[in-house]
Structure 1
Amino acid sequence: MAKKRRLTILVWLILLIVWELVTRLHLVSAILFPAPEEVWRTFVGILRQGYNGIPFWQHLGITLLRLFSAIILAIVTAVPLGLASGMSATVNGLVDSLIQFYRPIPPLAYYTLLILWFGIGESSKIILLYLAAFAPIYLAGVEGVHNLNQDYQLSAQSLGASKSQIFRWVIFPGSLPSLFTGIRTAVGVSFSTLVAAEMVASTSGIGWMVIDASKYLKSSVMFLGILILGGLGLLLDWGLRRLENAVVFWKGHQ
């Protein structure tokens, strides 16, 4: 683990050095590729003065509120539906084809419809992120049930366990590793959709900052927004992995 951490730090240091060298040697125009110190100055300025008259923490809070609202709603609905679909051929026949139909469609393809149906406010943005997060979690639930060792269920049945007990003590815990993988994937997909959600009829959020800055070639703001989104994604994924290690403590020891 220590070696992995050192290698990770080394990779980021190398990237930072290359970034600094490219800008100092003027290999790329500073308008298109700002120096690290320029991005840092932009960050400090936005922390102090905000962006477009809105404090930085408000931009960040709005983005996280949209993201967490969608992710939590997706978990609450997709986990039980995915597990039910994996356990029941009837449920699978009813919902699986619908989810498989919309899953490969790019979110921007139906975002306009969501705006027409739900307006230009927060509802359409949260629903867009929710739909992006729902499918990976649902599929993880289905796969978690299908990949579960059937011997566990048969052993529980032979000991007289009821269906509800089998679900509570065998199926659900056995599906947790797959579900956590699905949730981590859903967070990544939601982040990639976040800029699209904030680019239409929005005046706040980190994704909106990137879009707004692109209109005026504020490359340092664009880089800053991208770094913040990437950092948030890494932080959330790290938190989910820590939570998975605590909850699914038996993973890898079956």
Structure 2
Amino acid sequence: MKLKYQILAGLTAILAATACTKTETVDAPALATNRVLEYKITNVSGDPIYGVINDEKKTIIAYIPYYYYLTSLQPEVKVSDGATVTPGSNTLVEDLDSLFFAAAPLQYTVTAKNGTKATYSLLLETQQPELGMEAPEQDTLLASYTLDEAPYDVQSRYTLRGKNFIVNSALTVKPEVIFLSADNKAYPAVATSAFATSDGVNGSFSVYMPYEANIPEGKYRIRVVNYSRQVILENPVYIAHQVK
């Protein structure tokens, strides 16, 4: 009997404790008023491209299929009520090919009504395959020629081979080649030819070398750029001036 009373007393205490417990409602923290709510790229055929917004990291990631060959973006930017954004909504982002390799990303600054600011970085992902390039052999010598007793240079050529290239003559999307000196100065090739293969993806192309007057003799690394991808070839080449 004593045990029964002890059990009843324990249950009574538990019920009393439960009855005294209060449920408190905690309000969610207020959202910042200087946010990017939506980033929508509209200068594409079909459905627009929506950027993925990360408020914590302050980034906007835009996944752009490389086969669109976009050279500019026209985004609609929606921000918090009463806020403003710089660059403004529908401001054209030009020279997209340069932005792929810029040292710093394009940034959008959102200013709330109370003056507080937040800066979002635009990150571009094209999902273009990495370039595969055959490196030149060690100690490869390239010559830029000057014709004897002639007032002009001879444009020499050099052949490069690679894979995963995007080539679209209608949109002038093709490989670009830059020669980088030991002090990191850039000397662009005059031009490159079309691919030697019909698929426009894997094969070889000719590099029309810089003229003698435009590039000093010396050792150079070769940088190959194709739309949103670039690669610096492993072995350097040596450029010498010769007279024919």
TM-score, with structure 2 as normaliser = 0.19
Higher relative contact order (CA 8 A, sep 6+): 1
TM-score, with structure 1 as normaliser = 0.19
Instruction: Name whichever structure is richer in strand by fraction.
Output: 2
